[in-house]
Amino acid sequence: MIGILSAFGAATSWTYACFIWRSQTQKYKSIDINLIKNIIAFLIFIPAFINLSSTTELKNIFILLISGIIGIGLGDTFYLKSLQTIGTRKTLSIETLSPLMAALSGEFFINENLTTKSWVGIIIVTISLFIILRKGNDFKEENSSFSEKNSFKIFAFPFLSVLCAVLGGLLSRMVFLQSNLSPFLTTEIRLLGAIIFLISLKGFKINFFLKNIEKKQQKRFLLSIFLGTNIGILLQQVVFKTLPIGVGWALLSTSPVISLFFAKNEEREITKKIIFFTCFLFFGLTLIIL
C-alpha cells in the first residue's frame, strides 16, 4: 500500500512541477533548468548523507550515481527539451510507452515475472493513456522549433526521455533488491550523479537564471523543485523499493490523467471519451494493484 500511495503522490508532484517548468523552457535552456533544480534539491536533502555508512558497498553507490546520470541528468533534460520543442501532448503521448518498457526491462534484466492480470492491466493503462492524450487536440501547444515532417527530431527527445527514465529506475530497483539503503539516501546519491554529469557537460559553467526571475516566479519555481524533484524522486524511490518496476511504473505514469485537473490552464476540453478512457485506465490500475 505504501508503494501504491507513493506512486500516486510522485505522479501528482511531478505533474504540478512540470506545469511550472514548462513556462521556463521557453526562456532558458533545458540543461540549465535541470541543473539548477537538481542542485537546489540536492542541498535540501543533504542531511541524508548522515545515514551513509562505511559498510555501504561502493558498487551500489556507483550504480546509483549512474542511475542519476541516466535517469535524472539525461532523462529530465530530454523531457524538458521535448516540452520545449514539440509541446506537452506529443511528449506525453510518447511517454505512454514507459509502463510497457519498464515491465519488459524488469522481466528481462531482473527476472520480475508479472502475473497475466498485471500484464493486462499495464496494457490497458498504456492504451488508455495514449487515447486520452490523442483526444487532446485542443491542448494548447507551445511554438515548436521543429517541422511536423521531421519525424525523427519530433520523436527523438521524448523517446530518449522514456528510455533514460526507465533505465534509471531499473538500476535503482537493482540496488534496492541487493541492499538495505533508504529511499532518502538513494535519492541524494542519484541527484549527486546527475549534478556531476550536468556540470561536466556545461564545462563547470552554471547559469543561475533564478536571479533574473521576478520574486513571485522564483517562489513558484522553488516550490516546483521541492515537489517535483525532492518529494517526487523520493516517492519514486519508495516505489522502486516496494514494487516490481513494471507495476510501479504503470502507477507512476498516471501523470497525464492527473493533468486533467489543470485542463482549464491548458485550455483543454474534457470530453465524454476522455472520461470513459480515464475510467478504463483506473480499471487497468485496479487489475495491477489487486
The full set of domain ranges for the chain reads 2-101+141-242
pLDDT of 193: 94
Does the reported pTM lie above 0.85?
A: no
What pLDDT, on the 0 to 100 scale, is given for residue 166?
92
71 or 140, greater pLDDT = 71
Given pLDDT bands bounded at 50, 70 and 90, which one contains residue 239? Answer: very high
Does the pLDDT value for residue 266 go beyond 80?
no
Confidence band of 174 (pLDDT split at 50, 70, 90): very high
Look at 209 and 170; give whichever has higher pLDDT.
170
What confidence category does residue 141 fall into, taking pLDDT thresholds of 50, 70 and 90? very low
Return the minimum-mean-pLDDT range out of 22-31, 100-109, 128-137, 201-210. 128-137
User: 223 or 171: whose pLDDT is higher?
Assistant: 171
CA distance 110 to 116: 18
Residue 282: other Cβ atoms inside 10 A: 15
Q: What is the pLDDT of residue 67?
A: 95
At residue 15 the predicted structure's pLDDT band, cuts being 50, 70 and 90, is confident
The CA–CA distances, whole Å, from 219 to 163, 212, 214, 223, 225 equal 32, 13, 9, 6, 10
For the chain, give the percent of residues with pLDDT over 70. Answer: 84
User: How would residue 171 be classed by pLDDT, with cut points 50, 70 and 90?
Assistant: very high
Residue 19's pLDDT is 73
Is residue 138 very low, low, confident or very high in pLDDT (cuts 50, 70, 90)? Answer: very low
pLDDT band for position 186 (50/70/90)? very high
The fraction of the chain above a pLDDT of 90, given in percent, is 22
Q: What does the mean pLDDT of the chain come to? A: 81
State mean pLDDT over 50-74: 87
Residue 144, pLDDT score: 47
Q: Specify the pLDDT at position 88.
A: 67
- Kindly tell me if the per-residue pLDDT of 143 is higher than 50: no
Reduce the secondary structure of the chain to three states and give it as a string. CHHHHHHHHHHHHHHHHHHHHHHHCCCCCHHHHHHHHHHHHHHHCHHHHHHCCCCCCHHHHHHHHHHHHHHHHHHHHHHHHHHHHHCHHHHHHHHCCHHHHHHHHHHHHCCCCCCHHHHHHHHHHHHHHHHHHHCCCCCCCCCCCCCCCCHHHHHHHHHHHHHHHHHHHHHHHHHHHHCCCCHHHHHHHHHHHHHHHHHHHCCCCCCCHHHHCCHHHHHHHHHHHHHHHHHHHHHHHHHHHHCCHHHHHHHHCCHHHHHHHHHHHHCCCCCHHHHHHHHHHHHHHHHHHC
Task: Report the 10 Å Cβ neighbour count for 168.
Answer: 28
